[in-house]
């Protein structure tokens, strides 16, 4: 998660070479700052970024640079044996599995 204070400080101190843009995840813009650092334009833009980010609310900064992320791991509920047998029973009742398949899977679960 990107911190507004860190990004603002990087823009002020190292904005001339675009480090603040790399920090917030704008790598292509950071590369442009780095490639044109000899022109001093990135230094001016870095100071401008510092001022804009300093007056920007934390909520606006987070909305722009910290988008919500999908969870990396999905926690699933493991079915108990009774739930599995109930599921098999519903499949049997709906005709998707035969009585023989139902009994076989049920005995596998109970053993």
Domain ranges of the chain: 4-65, 81-110
**pTM of structure:** 0.62
- HSE-up of residue 65 (Cα within 13 Å, Cβ side): 23
pLDDT tens for the chain, 111 residues long, are: 899 999 999 999 999 999 999 999 999 999 999 999 999 999 999 999 999 999 999 999 999 999 887 766 665 556 688 888 888 899 989 888 899 989 998 888 888
Given a contact cutoff of 8 angstroms between Cβ atoms, the answer to whether 37 and 2 are in contact is: no
Q: What is the H or E stretch that residue 55 is in?
A: helix 41-55
Give the integer Cα–Cα distance in Å for 68 and 62: 9
The two tokens of residue 76 are 């699933």
């Amino acid at each position: 998660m990107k911190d507004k204070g860190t990004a603002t400080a990087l823009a002020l101190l190292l904005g001339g070479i675009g480090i603040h843009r790399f920090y917030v995840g704008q790598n292509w813009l950071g590369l442009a700052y780095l490639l044109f650092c000899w022109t001093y334009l990135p230094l001016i833009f870095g100071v401008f970024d510092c001022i804009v980010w300093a007056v920007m609310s934390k909520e606006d900064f987070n909305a722009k640079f910290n988008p919500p992320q999908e969870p990396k791991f999905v926690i699933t509920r493991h079915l108990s044996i009774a739930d599995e047998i109930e599921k098999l029973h519903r499949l049997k009742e709906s005709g998707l599995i035969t009585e023989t398949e139902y009994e076989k899977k049920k005995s596998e679960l109970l053993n």
